[in-house]
A and B are shown apart, each in its own frame.
Chain A
């Protein structure tokens, strides 16, 4: 086990490190061995109030943050990207320690996130309003203004990327924010806050309050001075946040929630390549991915061959100490561990054929064997509910037409993929599947430039790309009456 130097464990408010008002702390657990890594300050309503106050002050119309050039905000973001790359090794170790993901993945995710910061750095002074040929003797234009003070609540599955997906558009648009990282993984959020300060972002623009959902999270979503809330996590909690927003001050909301995304593999696919894509789609990050390909639909012509290949690949998947060269580390915590084991048991009971795995690994740490179920039916629990663990479910289908309806037969709509050489089948499927991100002959290709988000109960709004910036803007239309004189042409 690596010895990682933990520098920041307090609340980050107004560019300062402070204890919680209550002086309370909470433990963050190492999922490899279930021990306590360290105590972290536990934020609650009083701390959120302080943070919102700081964020509000930083958003005042004469503040430094509101009066610097947009291009200067871009410069600060570029600096942040540089700092993330400077500290990639340290940040990766901290991430792996806190959430158990293989360290190579953690490193790649940090570099990917730095690229996202650079994307938004370039966007800062390119947020354009319009001048409009409106009816009447007027000059009309639109201003795209920052929406204001934001509350952002993060999940634990990709702590650093999720922090960056939230903070980058805030900084690009000139908003301010209070971020509550997941209680399972607060450490890298605090390390990134330190980098944000080092980059030169003014005090109060970014505030980080570690703590729990029902306390700190609820305080944020209920705060009357928070103009907008963004949340990534479960659909269940997403509903709670939407209610809170409606009840208090009609906060604008973006939600990135759960999924049960179908990956459709047609007869003309190269079985080996398709099996690899499907394997990664299901097992990436130990299956702890909102857009995981968790319903693997295989056309009947290649079904048996595919199941054989999928089994072979899953058996080779290495699980162990994430600081070493493994494919998979532990699941995040006891709760998720129990839940996943529960689904695996349900899968076995429902009559699906368990061809690989199916049990925990070892006695200590939340390790679960990569598990594959074949002959899964659409109405089984493992085919309908989000498992969020290393479990692949393989189902059979006959025609594309039937497949479209089965793909859409879910309350979710986050992602979908199809593997085929047929251009018409591919375009037809992506057109008719009700999902926010669709892939053809690949899966989970998510980059800075491509908007990401869900249809239906997988969420509302989009992150990344052009669309991602829209969520942090409020449109203001300005109409000026023009002088009532005849004008020269």
Chain B
């Protein structure tokens, strides 16, 4: 259960520092339209929007912008593809698995291109895009391909002379709204279970990062999915709202901010659409005094700074036990100062830019609040460079629980190191948040680990590591970090509607 941290951290670094095949620094943009019914179309009201390269602030390309009537068209296509007797509804479940595996094959074929496009549109280091994002996409799709013909219902020994069983049916037309921090990965996490269980999809990628989702749509067609099964609608919140409000959409899945999550929850109240939400977090990373200090510092560093801090599970409250606190802060600050920030296509770069100017300003403001509220700035603290949305890796120590930087989700490269002295106290403080997405415990002690594992109110608890995501493991939040779980067998439930069948017999059958 408690593997050696040294091996894990080493493996994580090794995985990403093995030389990835050379990127395409100027990838060709092939698809910028709306993808409805396996066809590329322009937006019906003629609107377009621009997507930007956050490393330079320059426009990459113009993309068609989805309006309400486009949403109507897409939902209609998804509905047709879902009708009883359609090719999608009548193919063997195992055949759905074959198609999803084929999609994974095509993504593997175009892995370099997709990773390059992701880096261009999102700003994340290419090495991370190639290994982390694309690796995760391929694995997730293959994982759910394997579930397609294994979503079994039950036969139950009911009272009376009846034969009773359950059918696990697809829930129907699914509206899926995904964020900009892991664009293609989030698309895969949503599509995998929805398609495996036989649903149809209308997906809206984030306006900041539409490009890889659009290329993915073309691969969906190439893989052989029938028209209307997957529809891809680039656009803004208004397109998302139209999807949420559409009467023919049966289910909404959303990953993004808690604020928008609440809007969606309210938005479906009348129609009672099934909803799953993956929202924000302010996850505690609890480091006890018995750890190997260097390894713990390294792990905590990655827990926060990975993906430029733009991770819903970022370990953004690093609780460090008193007796190692000062040394920890020293090493953490040193490590942050050494973090390489720059052109995300360079293989040695660890951090690219933040996603856009809005996030950039928000983060700088929160850094300012840290200063004014009395936290001690020990690394970074300002923007980096003079073009693009770069921020220096920033570390605050002597952070108090009530400071804004300790309560508000920053979603940027800002690490808060907080002092604690005993377990009961840290549990209360770790749980004292509206969020509950993830948490971690670093210790060698079996009993202390078990105590914290049980006590922390979070959907994922890591022990002696951080940000480990396996498709086999469920992911989601307690409290205002979300509703429902993605990945794993649990993820199937979000896309399954249970129908009970009870057949009258003339004699008792058990």
Residues of A within 8 A of B (CB): 70-71, 74-75, 78, 115, 118-119, 121-126, 128, 139, 423-424, 427-428, 431, 448-449, 466, 480, 482-483, 485, 487-488
Contact = CB atoms under 8 A, between A and B. Distances in A.
A466 B150 contact: yes
Contact of A122 (B146, B505, B509): B146
A477 to B, nearest CB: 15
Nearest to A75: B142
Interface string B433-462: 000000000000011101100110000000
Contacts of B507: 428
B450 A480 contact: yes
B158 interface: no
Contacts of B428: 488
B454 A487 contact: yes
Contacts of B146: 74, 121-126
**Helix, strand, loop or mixed for chain A's interface?**
helix
B509 A431 contact: yes
Contacts of B506: 424, 428
Contacts of B56: none
Given A428-B506, A449-B93, 16 more contacts: A118-B94, A118-B98, A119-B150, A122-B150, A123-B146, A123-B150, A126-B489, A424-B505, A427-B505, A448-B149, A449-B149, A449-B150, A480-B446, A480-B450, A487-B455, A488-B431
Contacts of B431: 488
Contacts of A121: 146
A431 B472 CA distance: 36
B101 interface: yes
B180 interface: no
A75 B471 CA distance: 14
A118 B96 CA distance: 12
B150 A483 contact: no
A126 B491 CA distance: 13
A171 to B, nearest CB: 14
B236 interface: no
A424 B503 CA distance: 9
Contact of A487 (B93, B147, B451): B451
B97 interface: yes
B147 A122 contact: yes
Contact of B97 (A71, A122, A431, A480): A122
Contacts of B450: 139, 480, 482-483
B139 A71 contact: yes
A487 B457 CA distance: 13
Interface size class of B (residues with CB under 8 A): 35 or more
Contact of B427 (A74, A449, A488): A488
Contact of A125 (B424, B427, B472, B510): B472
A482 B450 CA distance: 7
B145 interface: yes
Contacts of B149: 119, 122, 448-449
Contacts of A480: 446, 450
A128 B489 contact: yes
B451 A126 contact: no
A61 to B, nearest CB: 14
B152 interface: yes
B203 to A, nearest CB: 24
In this complex, the member of B150, B427, B428, B505 whose beta carbon has the largest number of chain A beta carbons within 10 angstroms is: B150
Contact of B101 (A78, A115, A123, A424): A78
Contact of A449 (B94, B472, B509): B94
B457 to A, nearest CB: 9
B424 A488 contact: yes
B148 interface: yes
A118 B505 CA distance: 38
B14 to A, nearest CB: 16
Contacts of A78: 101, 142
B454 A427 contact: no
Contact of A428 (B142, B143, B505): B505
In this complex, the member of A123, A423, A427, A483 whose beta carbon has the largest number of chain B beta carbons within 10 angstroms is: A483
Nearest to A125: B472
A119 B92 CA distance: 12
20 contacts: A74-B142, A78-B142, A118-B97, A118-B98, A121-B146, A122-B147, A122-B148, A125-B146, A126-B472, A427-B503, A427-B505, A431-B163, A431-B509, A431-B510, A448-B149, A482-B447, A482-B454, A483-B448, A487-B451, A488-B455
A483 B451 contact: yes
Nearest to A484: B447
7 tightest A-B CB contacts, nearest first: A122-B146, A483-B447, A488-B455, A449-B149, A125-B472, A483-B451, A431-B509
Nearest to A425: B506
B447 A126 contact: no
Contacts of A123: 146, 150
B426 to A, nearest CB: 11
Contacts of A482: 447, 450-451, 454
Nearest to A128: B489
Contacts of A431: 163, 509-510
